[in-house]
Structure formats: structure tokens, C-alpha cells
Amino acid sequence: MGEAGRPPTTEDLLSFCIASADTPITIADALGADHPLVYVNRAFEVMTGYAAQDVLGRNARFLQGPATDRGAVHAMGAGLRAGEFTRVRLLNYRADGTSFWNDVHISVARDGTGTVTHFMGVQHDVTPEVEAQTRAVQAMTRDPLTGLLNRAAFDDELYRVLERAAATGTGAAVLFLDIDAFKGGNDLHGHLVGDVYLTHAARCLQSRLREQDVVGRRGGDEFVAVLAGVPGDTAHAVDRVVADLDAALREPFTVDGAVHRMTVSIGAAVFPSDGTTARDLVRHADAAMYRRKRERAAGRT
């Protein structure tokens, strides 16, 4: 620490302790253009995979990536501009491209005049904690077989979609889907084959619908979807979606060398012409699905 023959100074002790700490620590120049890093300890290098010589002089945003929450980044910047202690949780990226959740605590250092001269960041890899929380939320909101939203979580999303549609005047629609002759096939071939049909239907729905649409499993062999922000002639647009899904789900698929085929009956309800509440739209789509199923059973389609 100190020079040979003299006791270490407080500065020596602080420098030694920060460098030796198991917790990643960074120091940035608050007065320099773009707040460049002027120090990182060994623990930071280990956590991120970046060597000190490769990051000193750079803004710490190099840790951010495509999935980093911009809102959290802006909140962090606002805190630093205000000269306040700031805590933020960010999805960061290591030098090898792998992501991790970083709980960052940033303190400000001031000189004798009160001017903020440096920012010290103390960082914690909280990936296991975040992943555990994510699993807990998924257990409460996701169907364990298909990974789709469960009934309660889907209903919550449906309410939000309808609120936005009412506020913006955009179109929306609810689809209700049921696998034809599912119970008979399940009884004949067993639940494992039934699970294959359910997971295939779920994947097909997710792949054919848009990112802003919401898909859920209602229970048994019933699925629901809400189409958000449907443009133009809503009813005509929904008819096209239904036809596309019907054709896609009819396509044969292979699992473990066995070829499977399935059909579904799909009913649709358009907001607001078929109803203005989530309950009314689901009920209307459900009734339309059963009409479709009866027509198929009667051989009319």
C-alpha cells in the first residue's frame, strides 16, 4: 500500500480497498465530456469481461444493448444531472455479448465548492434474482404446457387493449378457437398426443399473429386471441386473419416421425360492433365458434 517504511495513508487504504473489493466499482469524471470512466476495479473486469485499458476514457453506456430499458437509462441520466444518488436496474451486456441484470448504485462526489466532480458506481449482478422473479410471475400468468397467457392474465391484457381502442378510436377483435374432435382424439391416442396438438396450435397462433396481438389458452383445447389496433375495415381485416389461421392450422405437421393433422373452429367478435366489454366480446366470439363447429359437423363447410 504505502511506501516502504511509512504507514499507509487514508488515501492508500481507500485505494487498496476499492481495488481489492469483490464488488465491481467504477468512477467516472463528471466534468469531462460524456462522463468518461477514469477507474474500474478488478471485480468490474471479472463481471463484465472488459479489461480496464479497453474501457477507460469511455462512457459506461458500452454496457447497454438492444434490450436495455431506455426508460431506466433516462431515469439514471436525470438523477446524475440533478447530482443525486441514483439506483437503477439495467439489462447490461458483457464483452462476449451475454446479458446480465445489473443493479447499479451511483453516488456523487463533490469538491469544496459543492461542484459534482465524479460519479462512483457500485454494481451488483442480480441475474439470479431477476430470473427467479420472472419464473414466479410466469407461474402465475402463463399456462405451463403452452407458455401462453392463462385465463386471468389474458383477461387483464384484453381489458387494456379495449381501453386503448376506446381511447384512440382504433379497431380490435377477439378470436375464440377450439380444436375439432379434440376429446375423442385425446381419449383414443392418449394425453401425450393431445399435448402435441395443444402446443402445435399455440406455436402456430404465436407465429401467425403480430407482436402486438395477445394470445392465451382459455382451458382444455380452447384458445383466445385479441387483435389490437386493427386498421381500416375491421370486420374485413378480421376475416382475413381468421382465414389465414384456419389454413395454417390445417397444414400437416410432424412430431417424432408421425404426421398429424388438425382443424380448428374459430369465432370472432369485433369491437365495438359486437360488444364494448371484454365479457361481451368473449361471449360473442365463443358463440360464433360454436356456430362454426356445428356447421362443420353438419357438413356445410
Domain ranges of the chain: 10-131, 142-297
CB atoms within 10 A of CB 209: 19
Fold of 142-297: Alpha-Beta Plaits (3.30.70)
User: So what's the pLDDT on residue 5?
Assistant: 60
User: So what's the pLDDT on residue 185?
Assistant: 57
Q: Which among 12-26, 87-101, 193-207 has the top mean pLDDT?
A: 87-101
> Closest by alpha carbon to 163, among 215, 228, 214, 233?
228
Q: How does pLDDT run across 48-90, given as a tens digit for each residue?
A: 999 999 999 999 999 999 999 999 999 999 999 999 999 999 9
Cα angle value 273/276/278 (rounded, 5°): 125
0.85 surpassed by pTM: no
> Closest by alpha carbon to 186, among 199, 177, 196, 201?
196
User: So what's the pLDDT on residue 194?
Assistant: 80
CA-CA distance, 131 to 139, in Å (whole number)? 12
Indicate the pLDDT class of residue 197, thresholds 50, 70 and 90.
confident
On average, the pLDDT of the chain sits at 89
Residue 184 pLDDT greater than 60, yes or no: no
Q: How does pLDDT run across 96-110, given as a tens digit for each residue?
A: 999 999 999 999 999
User: So what's the pLDDT on residue 137?
Assistant: 83
DSSP state string for 114-131: S-EEEEEEEEEE-HHHHH
Q: Say whether domain 10-131 belongs to CATH 3.30.450.20.
A: yes
Q: Which among 13-22, 77-86, 250-259, 291-300 has the top mean pLDDT?
A: 77-86
User: Residue type at 253?
Assistant: F
CA-CA distance, 245 to 38, in Å (whole number)? 56
Distance of CA 239 to the CA centre of its chain: 29
Q: Which among 25-39, 133-147, 188-202, 261-275 has the top mean pLDDT?
A: 25-39
Give the rounded percent of residues in the chain with a pLDDT score beyond 70.
93
Helix residue ranges per DSSP H, the chain: 10-20, 42-48, 52-55, 70-81, 127-141, 151-168, 182-189, 191-208, 234-250, 278-297
Q: How does pLDDT run across 212-257, given as a tens digit for each residue?
A: 999 999 988 999 999 998 865 678 889 999 999 999 999 998 877 8
Distance of CA 204 to the CA centre of its chain: 19
Q: How does pLDDT run across 275-291, given as a tens digit for each residue?
A: 999 999 999 999 999 99
User: So what's the pLDDT on residue 10?
Assistant: 79
| Total residue length of the chain | 301
CA-CA distance, 217 to 152, in Å (whole number)? 10
